[in-house]
Amino acid sequence: MRLNLFLGTTLSLVALVFSSQVVLEQKAPAETPAPADPVEPVVVTAAFPQSNTFGHIFNGEKNTITLTVENRSGKSATLVSVGGAVYNVQTEALIKNLTALKFSRALKQGIKLQVPYTFYSEFKPGDIRLNVWLDHTLDNQTVRVGAYDSIVTIVEPEVSIFDFKMVSTYLVTLALLTGLGYVAYQTFAPKRPRTKKRTAPAAVSAPVGAVTATGAGGYQEEWIPEHHMRKPKVARKKSGGGALTSGDEFSEMSAGEMSAPEKEKKAKGKGRK
């Protein structure tokens, strides 16, 4: 009898457990499938070029990040602009907004478009959070899509003595400082008094050729025209007392007072006679 009692108790317990499982399965609600992720109308991704594998931002240089844009909306969309900003890593405070670039370019359906975004950095070396976004229009509405949001490292560029930019900058700075120094010297430096140079009196050239002096002055016969050298001939007239007139006195000039050309002409005239 004890065996029958034990078997009956065991069977009743098994039946009770089985019935409770059936009731729970009936009451359990049917599982609903999870909703599918909504498809973005415009998908944007961003990456640094292969030359900048670690994604560093160089101070004082042009930094470029490339955005890949794809229109999946089946409608016409237009790329408006690309912008960005940098934030403090610890406090999430805005450090500076980067310059936005305007494009106004149509985004065709199913075609991936690569858009370079260039910006300059003048920040302290260290880690910052870089956020880059893209604005586009769809159905006459402007939509902003995030393209890049990650922590990047700002570093100083490598310095080389053969760097053309550095050498040209030093040369221009040196030229400016030299010009300013010259202007300051000319303005504030005491000026020395100028001494006048004594000029020697011009030497008087000696007369060329023979000079015939008359009175206090002198002249050169070779510069006097020939017709001025001729002596007027005056006829001799005797007065009643046998004395000569004043014209006779003028004609009785000595041959030494006649000029050399007159003497030569007179000699030639006598030879012809």
Report the CATH number that the domain containing residue 65 is assigned in CATH: 2.60.40.10
pLDDT band at 34 (very low <50, low <70, confident <90, very high): very low
Most confident of 10-19, 132-141, 189-198, 257-266: 132-141
φ, ψ for residue 72 (rounded to 5)?
-115, 10
Residue 144 has pLDDT above 80, yes or no: yes
pLDDT band at 130 (very low <50, low <70, confident <90, very high): very high
Position 96 in a domain: yes
Which pLDDT score is estimated for 116? 93
pLDDT band at 119 (very low <50, low <70, confident <90, very high): very high
Structurally, how many domains does the chain consist of? 1
Which pLDDT score is estimated for 250? 44
Position 119 in a domain: yes
Which pLDDT score is estimated for 86? 94
Which pLDDT score is estimated for 218? 57
Where in the sequence is the domain holding 78, given as residue range(s)?
Answer: 42-155
**Span 70-82, pLDDT tens digits:** 998 888 889 999 9
Position 47 in a domain: yes
The answer, as to whether pTM is greater than 0.75, is: no
**Span 44-71, pLDDT tens digits:** 999 999 888 888 999 988 899 999 999 9
Position 185 in a domain: no
Position 32 in a domain: no
Position 230 in a domain: no
Position 8 in a domain: no
